[in-house]
Amino acid sequence: MAKKRSSEEDCNEILANLKRKIYKPVYFLVGDESYFIDKISDYISDNLLSESEKDFNQVVLYGKDSEVGNIIDAARRFPMMANHQVVIVKEAQHLKKIEDLEHYLKAPQQTTILVVCYKGKPGEKMGKPTKGLKSLFSLAGKVGVFFESNSFYENQVPEWIVRYLAVKEISIAIKPATLLTDFLGTDLSKIVNELEKLIITLPPNTKTVTADHIEKNIGLSKDFNRFELTKALGERDAAKAFLIVDHFAKNPSNNPFVVTISAVFQYYIKLFKLHILKSLSEAELAKELGVHPFFLKEYRKAAQFYTTTKCFQIISLLREYDLRAKGVNNDSTDQGELLRELVFKILYS
């Protein structure tokens, strides 16, 4: 069975064709990862027409402020003193009766490059795309390019950070890349913004990003973070765990209890799965746990301290403290103290 292509691979192929001046009359860009959608639409906006041609031949419309009829009228015009005109529709997810664009797609103007940016999962509120949207997407793929930009899973982001920096001839190890992911999440646009700022602040001739660079320039402590807390719990290093908890208690705005407890919860879910799926290969196990294979050794070591029964007890404990943080059976204990209690019970109960 052929391996399914990633959004990143599809994006790179579309950009490669655009750079070779292989243009399609329609680019329908859909999905909940805005980074790749923006990358394609920005390239078209910046590079397909010269600055003088853009004045008469490039139109940017917004879904909230437009109607399908206006978009079709703009797309059917002929270019002025240029080979093509570009019509970009941003925030198309807000466009009413977007399915009516099918009338245009059945006979698109070949001198127009229509770019439709539909951010978010189509039909999200209804649970699945409507029949009309499915038909629209299918037709877009037949007459032009239909591109689906899917958000990354958390375990995919560190390697993507490695690849992103490698293009700029800068290296980063998986561990600090994972640290960045833990702090910034999976929003690639946000990550790129922070990486670009980080690159600017690197000392001259520095070609490797370290945890020290991240701590100094992004504001994430390399020693006091959720990644290090779960590692300390996994190693049953009480001294280190309580040092991190004290740091969190003193800096609650940077370390929200709900985010911390969610990270710990996911950690013990993975340890529980590790016991159940221990017969799998390294690659299969890493995929099922949602972690980079580099960290499997740490998880296996932690699993020696935490049996399936113990993991189940801790997961129940985490649910209890999540409710207490929300005020259930808790009148006065602050979240810093709740976290101290929770870590103590994980380590010693």
C-alpha span between 334 and 236 (Å, rounded): 24
Tell whether 35 and 127 lie within a shared domain.
yes
Phi, psi of 23 (to 5 degrees): -105, 145
Residue 194 · residue 205 · CB < 8 Å: no
Least confident of 28-32, 119-123, 181-185, 315-319: 119-123
- Model pLDDT, residue 3: 60
- Model pLDDT, residue 97: 92
Q: Which of 190, 218, 246 is the last residue of a domain?
A: 218
Write out the two tokens for 148: 């689906």
Q: How confident is the model at residue 125 (pLDDT cuts 50, 70, 90)?
A: very low
What is the DSSP track for 136-160?
HHHHHHHHSEEEEEPPPPGGGHHHH
Tell me the pLDDT of the chain averaged across its residues. 92
Instruction: Please state the rounded mean pLDDT for residues 66-95.
Output: 96
Tell whether 20 and 142 lie within a shared domain.
yes
Tell me the residue ranges of DSSP E strands in 138-270. Answer: 145-149, 171-172, 208-209
- Model pLDDT, residue 217: 87
Asked, for residue 303, whether it belongs to a domain, the answer is yes
Asked, for residue 244, whether it belongs to a domain, the answer is yes
- Model pLDDT, residue 181: 92
Asked, for residue 235, whether it belongs to a domain, the answer is yes
Is 203 buried (19+), middle (13-18) or exposed (0-12) by CB count in 10 A? exposed
Helices 188-201 and 174-184 pack at an angle, to 10 degrees, of 120
Question: What percentage of the chain has pLDDT greater than the value 90?
Answer: 82
pLDDT in tens, 199-249: 999 999 999 999 999 988 887 888 899 999 999 999 999 999 999 999 999
pLDDT in tens, 289-333: 999 899 999 999 999 999 999 999 999 999 999 999 888 887 777
- Model pLDDT, residue 123: 57
C-alpha span between 93 and 192 (Å, rounded): 24
Question: Does position 39 have pLDDT exceeding 90, yes or no?
Answer: yes
Q: What separation in angstroms does the CA of 296 have from each of 274, 278, 283, 284, 303?
A: 9, 11, 10, 11, 10
- Model pLDDT, residue 115: 98
What is the number of structural domains in the chain?
3
Asked, for residue 276, whether it belongs to a domain, the answer is yes
Least confident of 11-20, 62-71, 175-184: 175-184
The gap from C-alpha 198 to its chain's centroid, in whole angstroms, comes to 19
Asked, for residue 292, whether it belongs to a domain, the answer is yes
Q: Which of 218, 236, 252 is the last residue of a domain?
A: 218
Other Cβ atoms closer than 10 A to 277: 12
- Model pLDDT, residue 60: 97
Write out the two tokens for 240: 């280190």
Asked, for residue 198, whether it belongs to a domain, the answer is yes
Please report where in the chains the tokens 């999440």 appear, as a residue. 185
Tell whether 250 and 344 lie within a shared domain.
yes
Which domain covers residue 104, as residue numbers?
7-149
Angle at 223 between CA 218 and CA 224, to 5 degrees: 80
Tell whether 238 and 341 lie within a shared domain.
yes
- Model pLDDT, residue 126: 40
* pTM given for the model: 0.83
The CATH number of the domain holding residue 201 is 1.10.8.60
- Model pLDDT, residue 127: 44
Pairwise pLDDT comparison (124 vs 256), residue with the higher score: 256
**DSSP β-ladder status, 58-62 and 26-31:** unpaired
Q: How confident is the model at residue 253 (pLDDT cuts 50, 70, 90)?
A: confident
Q: Which SS3 state, helix, strand or coil, does residue 203 take?
A: coil
Asked, for residue 287, whether it belongs to a domain, the answer is yes
- Model pLDDT, residue 129: 64
In the β-sheet with 58-62, what is the strand arrangement from edge to edge? 58-62, 85-90, 112-119, 26-31, 145-149
Tell whether 231 and 188 lie within a shared domain.
no
Q: How confident is the model at residue 132 (pLDDT cuts 50, 70, 90)?
A: confident
The CATH number of the domain holding residue 253 is 1.20.272.10
Q: Which of 218, 238, 266 is the last residue of a domain?
A: 218
pLDDT in tens, 181-212: 988 989 999 999 999 999 999 999 999 999 99
Question: Does position 74 have pLDDT exceeding 90, yes or no?
Answer: yes
Tell whether 124 and 143 lie within a shared domain.
yes
Tell whether 242 and 287 lie within a shared domain.
yes
Asked, for residue 2, whether it belongs to a domain, the answer is no
